[in-house]
Amino acid sequence: MASRYAFNTGLKELRFLFCHSSTHGDATRAFLKRAYPAMKKNNPSVPILIREALDVEPRVFARYEFGKEKQENLLGLSDKEIEQKVTVLVKDGLPQQS
């Protein structure tokens, strides 16, 4: 489990955005409740931001070196599917140049 949450060195920030009162934020809340302690323990120097806002679709943003950013929509995903999306973001490092 520890290596699952070991972030790539190119990752500078991980940010979660979701609605605190609607049901479509439930899976994101459940994921964060379960995974946040392990992510923070394995990556104490990387900011993991949790932003709650009314009526927004759940998303996760990863900010990398040189200001590059990637985001994934988490709407309708289960806890495990959210974990897979986050794992891809934190392991990938810099997004590919287009």
Residue 76 is assigned to a structural domain of this protein: yes
Confidence of residue 98 (pLDDT cuts 50, 70, 90): very low
For the stretch 19-73, pLDDT in tens is 988 898 999 999 999 999 999 999 999 999 999 999 999 999 999 988 899 999 9
Packing angle of the helix pair 79-92, 26-42 (nearest 10 deg): 40
Please report, for the domain that includes residue 67, its CATH number. Answer: 3.40.30.10
Which pLDDT score is estimated for 67? 87
In a domain, residue 97? The reply is no
Positive or negative torsion for Cα 93, 38, 34, 63: negative
Residue 75's domain comprises: 3-92
Total domains in the fold of the chain: 1
1-25 per-position pLDDT tens digit: 456 677 888 899 999 999 988 898 9
